[in-house]
Every structure is written in structure tokens, then in C-alpha cells.
Chain A
């Protein structure tokens, strides 16, 4: 699935991004470009840095060095009001859902509209119900988050993320924990949002099937480095052993490097 033109303008540009947590280097100089209207899937095992990279793309992390541009704005230089302005053009579906427990599902989904627009209340309510419809939660607007299953919370969070038809949508593990039917329908929704609205979409996932279903391109991270970036076919046919290892659903199993292991055991193995 590759419908985004290579001539499309750049939506996200990451250059030589380095970040530390304390004295530990987490990202070691990431370069990545996402074009407008493209679905970019970021994959990697636990500790690969994919969540940290996502947080940088959202302007939630301070970089040690490097550049992160989103829709032409340099996130590393934006103050709080700048981040707020950019924030109106993006939607984020967090892995946990992050719904407000004191608000109904409908109020949660409508919240970005209430905060960022002056639309008539009736318009906002119709938009909210349309989004609940497309995530297959029609009629659930009056329930409280505590009354929803985990999968329903994720779908409600997805509805909230897309309620303003954002220019760029970020989704963190949208399919994790969902049953196959719902997971597949969420994949189709992501594709439809790209096709209907030209949305640029960045999905962080370790669900291989979902990644292959939706990705125009895949960025594969490994221990804070870019392992490969390419189309689904590029990644599938890669002769890189580590790429193939990750594709074989062995994300959590480390490939043992004896020297690095020994260094870690004697306290010299901090990633740098």
C-alpha cells in the first residue's frame, strides 16, 4: 500500500536527533522524513526508542541535539504557546486511551472542539457522533469511561484524536489488545482517513499484520538507531539479519552480543 507521492511536501522532518535520559543516550542521531498524506509506521522492540521518538514528534521531549520539524515548525525551539498552536493541527491517540474519567465518552471526544473552535454546539455534537460512528461506538456517548472495555476506550480515544480532522494523526499502539475484527476495522479507518482527508498518519506499533496492512513506509528502530526505513516490500525483503529477526516476532528477545553482554555485567555497558 503506497499511495503517497514521493513529491508530496514534507510533513515531519527529523534530523540527527539525539536524546538522553540522565546520562543515558536513548536516541543516537535519528533521521526521518514523513511526507504529507503518508502513513508511516514506526516499529521496534521494547527499548528500541520508538515511544521516545514519538514523544519528540509531539513536542513532549527536550532533545539533547538535533532538529524535529512538524508542518514546517521547529519543535525544539517552540515555547508553550507555539506548541499549543501546532497542537491544534495534530491528533494523538495515546496507547492508554487517556480519557478523562469525570467526563462522558461524548464529552471526551468533543473536548478538542470545545477547546479549539467556536463551532455551534449542535455542530460539535454531530461531529462527535460521526466519529463515534466510524469507530463503531455509535450510541455510547453518554457512558462514562469506567463503563467501557479496554478496546472501547482505545476506540473512543481514537475518535477524540480525529474529531478535528487533524493534518497529522499520531497513534500509539492503536491495535494492541483489540480483537482481530476490531483491529482490522481500525486499520481500515486509518487508511480511509488518509484517503478521504489526505491525513498524514504516524503509527507506533509492534503489530506486524497491522503495520503491513496500513504502512506506506516503515521506520524500524533498534536500540535507539534507525535500522531501516522503507516500503513494506523493502522491509519484508531486507537481507538485514536484525530486520528479519524483528519481523519474526522476536521483539522481546535480545540478540545476544557476547562482548556487549560482558561489558554490561561489569558495568561498562551503558548505551552511549
Chain B
């Protein structure tokens, strides 16, 4: 898994690529919590992620919940079919705000 964080249009854009699985989800979690900790809107760009397991999804949930408590916007962007099915499995597609493109999210 690789990741990068940049600021765009007043939001922090956290982009991930590769697989977010048991091995990599602790790092993804830390990136996401750090973003939320900066007190800005967070967009999580998953366009490069082909696989995410439950631990990765749990990291998204935790960061999202923390953002909500802080009154911050938190959304997913460009979720591929595979990860989307994992979100649907736990009905989290109904919980997260999901944008098709980054432009939509901004």
C-alpha cells in the first residue's frame, strides 16, 4: 500500500493505492486519524485501491466517526468495484458519503 496527503480546495486529500489489508491497515488508520486531527475536511481518494479488507474498512469507520464528532466533513472518493462490494457487505455504502470523482467531493 502507498499513500500521499495533499491539501486541495481547503480539504485534505488522502490518496491510497494498492491493498489495504491486515498488514497495511494500521498505517492507513494512522494517516486517516492524523488527517482528521488537523481539523479540516477530509477526502479519502481510493481510486488506486483494488482491495480493502475489514480492517481497512474499520480504519475508515473509526476516522469517519472521529470526524463526525469534530463536526468535520469526511468522504470517500472514486471507490472501485471491489472495495465498494466490501462496503456494501456491511451496508457501509449507506453510511459513508461517496463521491465518484475528486471534483465532486471538493
Contact = CB atoms under 8 A, between A and B. Distances in A.
Nearest to B88: A196
Given A130-B90, A133-B91, A134-B90, A120 B85 contact: no
Contacts of A164: 22, 54
Interface residues of B, number: 21
Contact of B25 (A123, A133, A134, A163): A123
Given A119-B25, A123-B58, A133 B90 contact: yes
B11 interface: no
A193 B88 CA distance: 11
Nearest to B84: A196
A119 B62 CA distance: 13
A60 to B, nearest CB: 24
Contact of A126 (B21, B61, B86, B89): B61
Interface string B46-87: 000000011101110110000000000000000000100110
B62 A134 contact: no
Contacts of A124: 58
A130 B55 CA distance: 10
A15 to B, nearest CB: 31
B89 A165 contact: no
A126 B57 CA distance: 9
A127 interface: yes
Given A123-B62, A126-B61, A193-B89, A131 B22 contact: no
Nearest to B86: A196
B79 to A, nearest CB: 13
A192 interface: yes
Contacts, number: 56
B53 A122 contact: no
Given A196-B86, A196-B88, A120 B53 contact: no
Nearest to B82: A196
B26 interface: yes
Contacts of B85: 192, 195-196
Contact of B29 (A117, A120, A163, A192): A120
Given A164-B22, A165-B53, A165-B54, A123 B88 contact: no
Interface of A: 117-120, 122-124, 126-127, 130-131, 133-134, 163-165, 192-193, 195-197
28 contacts: A117-B22, A117-B55, A118-B26, A119-B26, A119-B55, A120-B29, A122-B62, A123-B25, A123-B26, A123-B55, A123-B62, A124-B58, A126-B58, A127-B58, A130-B57, A130-B58, A131-B54, A133-B91, A134-B89, A134-B90, A164-B22, A165-B53, A192-B85, A196-B85, A196-B86, A196-B88, A197-B53, A197-B89
